[in-house]
Chains A and B, each alone.
Chain A
Amino acid sequence: MEKFTVLDATAAALPTPDVDTDMIIRIERCVRTPRAEMGRWAFEMARYRADGSENPEFPLNRAPFRDARILVAAENFGCGSSREMAVWAIAGMGFRCVIAPSFGEIFYGNCFQNGVLAIRLPAPAVEALLETLGGATAPVRIKVDLPVQAVIGPDGTSHRFDIDPLRKKALLEGLDAIGMTLTREAEISAWQAADRARRPWVWP
């Protein structure tokens, strides 16, 4: 997994609440599109018009957001289906960090599996960022500093964020979750041996 330390990059705003993962990537794209091409189909239903051209009304099509690597979103972002392709699609668009007041929980976990930093900030802080970005006519930069756990807004305001220490370590060092758990093989085997005695009916 690609490491994440400090990201100083253009930010984009998507102020719609409850964006579900069906909206982020349609189910047919999940199974028919190679991962490397998934970014093209992110937000397909809102992003393109029926004739395949870009929908100018869709916020992420705005010129100042073109090269954005940070996505600022609204409440409950990524709710719904567990499809991890929603993260692949967003990462495929170039985003490495998503900031929102709250997330769908499965989506939130999937972000960290793919080196994408998902940050929960208090709603007023996110609203301020959405407002600044929404009114911007030129690209606006935000700095995300994982080691010190802070988001530094375009006006210099710093917002501290919480992150699970394990997830932080995995992002900073680019660790592989399976590899880390496999180092605990002896513990897993011992637990299973004890469980076979404790709950034999679980074991077919």
Chain B
Amino acid sequence: MALTLFDKVWNAHVIADLGGGTALLHVDRHLLHDLGGGKALAEVSERGLPVRNPELTFATADHVISSAPGRTGGAHDWAQVLVDSLRLESRKAGVRLFDVGGDEQGIVHVIGPELGITQPGSLVVCGDSHTCTNGALGALGFGIGASEILHVLATQTIEQRKPRTMRARFEGELPKGVYAKDLILALIGEVGMAGGVGYALEYAGSAVRALGMEGRLTLCNLSIELGAKVGMVAPDESTYAWLKGRRFAPRGAQWGAALAWWKTLASDPDASFDREVELDASGLAPQITWGTSPEDTIAVDATIPASKPEALEYMGLAAGRPLAGTRIDRVFIGSCTNSRLPDLRAAAEVARGRKVAAHVRAWVVPGSVGVKRAAEAEGLDEVFLAAGFEWREPGCSLCVGANGELVEPEARCVSTSNRNFVGRQGPRARTHLASPATAAACALAGEIADVRDFLA
């Protein structure tokens, strides 16, 4: 029988069929973060349950830490308690922690792939809905809740009901100023934020094949914003070349054995999907959101629709007018969506030799220490600093509002993150999601701007 990529990876992890379409699956990689990791480890310990496979469990500090230069830990008192608890409990349990101040700290979904912890065909879970990001390498990654974290710590397994399959094809060459972020925002706009509920999504097509790994990570990251818990790209030569030599990637003879298996994972040519959608990538313009859901997306040169009056009121916008030209206050380039080296390069290309508008506070927050150092080696930090951006330390920062870094009430922020929900970046904060290049263009213009006007 013809199988999809998702089917093959799922089947490789079934320990037991529990009936009713539910299986007990093996977890190859369990990622913990500071928001709940320490508490979860303490709770299993209190219940007298040892962490079953600490060697398959990895922890990092990202959600509650400050991104201010010179930071050492939690952004404030209660955040410090969470970071300290993660340090203590991971040491007690024998779980590897990528701590603040270390060489490998970063946002969980940035360092998982970057360190080679995430691999093609692996099953990855984390108490964070953007675990779907890891699917870019052909892994089966999905977010879990606090109870499920305890279950994984104690048993190294997870119960899951098998979802249906969906394939999104992006065909054609990306026009100037259009990136992976624009592709996925356009897809969410097309199918809606519940369009993928109940599906494991596979991204395919010539535009996806042409993307580098970082672009694929951006694509998969937003799968949950269209309701799909899982988003995957079949591994290919780009994947293997990107992964080889990374710290936890297979080595020596094991690399060859792993590669032989990975090459069998792509969906069979005649595999069928429960739902298929296709988007012409070559016809897209840079995308930006105007409302309070990632589905509220338009081309940057389009007019604001009238479909959601409540969202428009929250955002302080009027229907029928162009979105471009709207004055902004903040710019955030970062998050598990868009904080990797090519993201920073794209933003720097726009910012080089120009100045951030005087009334805008613009931040660049690299996704990991690894990304930060690589960017500094290329001089990107100097490009940003010279243009008037702040160059900060790796973490979730302004995406999540859990670290004291917030957008002020009614302030307008162009953000490369993944959620423009009501209050997400702070009470009454107004968020516009866009690509790093578009965000940089907006910072320079001081208003919502078309990045194509800034590119040669």
Residues of chain B within 8 A (CB-CB) of A178 are 49, 150-151, 154-155
Structural contact, A199 and B19, CB atoms closer than 8 A: no
User: Hey, what's the 0/1 contact readout for A23-42 against B, CB within 8 Å counting as 1?
Assistant: 10011101110000000000
Residues B258 and A199 in contact, CB atoms below 8 Å apart: yes
Contact mask B96-131 → A, CB, 8 Å, 1/0?
Answer: 000000000000000000000001011000011100
Interface residues of B, count at CB 8 A: 64
Query: Which of A32, A83, A110 has the most C-beta atoms of chain B within 10 angstroms of its own C-beta?
Result: A83
| B156 close to chain A: CB less than 8 A | yes
B151 x A81 contact (CB < 8 A): no
Chain B residues positioned under 8 Å from A83 (CB to CB): 145-146
A105 to B119, CA, bound (A): 24
Known: A18-B293, A84-B147. A166 touches B419 (CB 8 A): no
Cβ–Cβ contact B18 & A166, under 8 A: yes
Task: Tell me the B253-311 residues at the A interface (CB within 8 Å).
Answer: 254-255, 257-258, 261, 293
Contacts of A27 in B (CB 8 A): 400-402
The answer to whether B157 touches A76 (Cβ under 8 A) is no
Decide: A188 near B144, CB < 8 A? Known: A31-B78, A76-B194.
no
Name the contact of B35 in the complex, choosing from A23, A31, A102, A165 (C-beta under 8 A): A31
Are B227's CB and A104's CB within 8 A? yes
Enumerate A75-129 residues with CB–CB distance to B below 8 Å. 75-76, 79-85, 87, 102-106, 109-110, 113-114
Indicate which residue in B122, B147, B402 contacts A110 across the interface (CB closer than 8 Å): B147
A166 near B19: Cβ-Cβ < 8 Å:
yes
Residues on A with C-beta less than 8 A from B150 are 178
> Chain A residues near B194 (CB, 8 Å)?
18, 75-76, 79, 102
CB distance from B378 to the nearest CB of A (A): 31
Highest count of chain A CB atoms <10 Å: which of B12, B194, B419: B194
Question: Which residues from B are CB-within-8-Å of A18?
Answer: 193-194, 293
A residues within 8 A CB of B64? 31
Would you call B82 and A166 a contact (CB within 8 A)? Answer: no
Most buried by A among B78, B122, B127, B155: B155
- Smallest CB–CB gap between A178 and chain B, Å? 5
Tell me if B198 is interfacial: C-beta within 8 Å of chain A.
yes
A26 contact set on B, CB distance < 8 A: 401, 423
Point out the residues of chain B lying under 8 angstroms from A85, CB to CB.
Answer: 146
Instruction: Output the least CB separation between A126 and chain B (Å).
Output: 14
B35 touches A82 (CB 8 A): no
Say whether, besides A28-B401, A31-B402, A166-B22, A177 and B255 are in contact (CB < 8 Å). Answer: no
Partner of A81, one of B129, B159, B197: B129
Residues of B with C-beta under 8 A to A181: 24, 151, 154-155, 157, 159
Q: How many A-B residue pairs have CB under 8 A?
A: 152
Q: Which of B82, B128, B159 contacts A82 (CB 8 A)?
A: B128
- B197 close to A204 (CB less than 8 A): no
The answer to whether B15 has its CB under 8 Å from any CB of chain A is: yes
Contact partners of A114 in chain B: CB under 8 A: 147
A45 touches B423 (CB 8 A): yes
**A45-B423, A178-B49 known; A201-B255 Cβ under 8 A:** yes
Residue-wise, chain A 186-200 has the 8 Å CB interface mask toward B (1 for contact) of: 011001100100011
Closest to B254 in A: A201
Choice from A76, A82, A200 contacting B127 with Cβ under 8 Å = A82
Contacts of B10 in A (CB 8 A): none
Question: Are B15 and A188 closer than 8 Å at their CB atoms?
Answer: yes
Any chain A CB within 8 A of the CB of B16?
Answer: yes
Instruction: Please give, as numbers and ranges, the residues of chain A lying within 8 Å of B421 by CB-CB distance.
Output: 20, 22-23, 80
CB of A45 within 8 A of CB of B15, answer no
Interface status of A202 (Cβ within 8 A of chain B)? yes
Q: Is A148 an interface residue (CB 8 A)?
A: no
Q: Is the CB of A84 within 8 A of B423?
A: no
Tell me which residues across on chain B come within 8 A of A155, comparing CB atoms: none
Specify which chain B residues have a CB less than 8 angstroms from the CB of A87 in the assembled complex. 145
Cβ contacts under 8 Å, A76 to chain B: 193-194, 197, 227
Distance (whole angstroms) from the CB of B300 to the closest CB of chain A: 23
B182 interface residue per 8 A CB criterion: no
Quick check: A165 and B422 within 8 Å, CB to CB?
A: no
Shortest CB-to-CB span from A194 to chain B, Å, is 10
Q: Within the complex, which residue of A113, A166, A192, A202 is in contact with B147, where a contact is CB–CB below 8 Å? A: A113
Interface residues of A in 26-66 (CB under 8 A from B): 26-28, 30-32, 45
A103 closest partner in B (C-beta): B197
> How far apart are the CA atoms of A178 and B419 in the complex, in Å?
32
Verify if B167 is at the interface (C-beta below 8 Å from A): no
Within B225-250, the residues touching A (CB, 8 Å) are 227, 229, 248, 250
Report the bound CA distance from A191 to B227 in whole Å. 31
- State which of B26, B146, B156, B401 has its C-beta within 8 Å of the C-beta of A84: B146
Binding site for B on A (CB under 8 A): 18, 20, 22-23, 26-28, 30-32, 45, 75-76, 79-85, 87, 102-106, 109-110, 113-114, 164-166, 177-178, 181-182, 184, 187-188, 191-192, 195, 199-204
Binding site for A on B (CB under 8 A): 12, 15-16, 18-22, 24, 26, 28, 35, 49, 53, 55-56, 64, 78, 82, 119, 121-122, 127-129, 142-148, 150-151, 154-157, 159, 161, 193-194, 197-198, 224, 227, 229, 248, 250, 254-255, 257-258, 261, 293, 400-402, 419, 421-424, 427
Other A-B contacts than A22-B421, A31-B35, 4 sampled, CB-CB below 8 A, are: A22-B419, A106-B143, A110-B146, A165-B20
Query: Closest 6 A-B residue pairs measured CB to CB?
Result: A113-B147, A201-B250, A84-B145, A110-B145, A84-B146, A76-B194
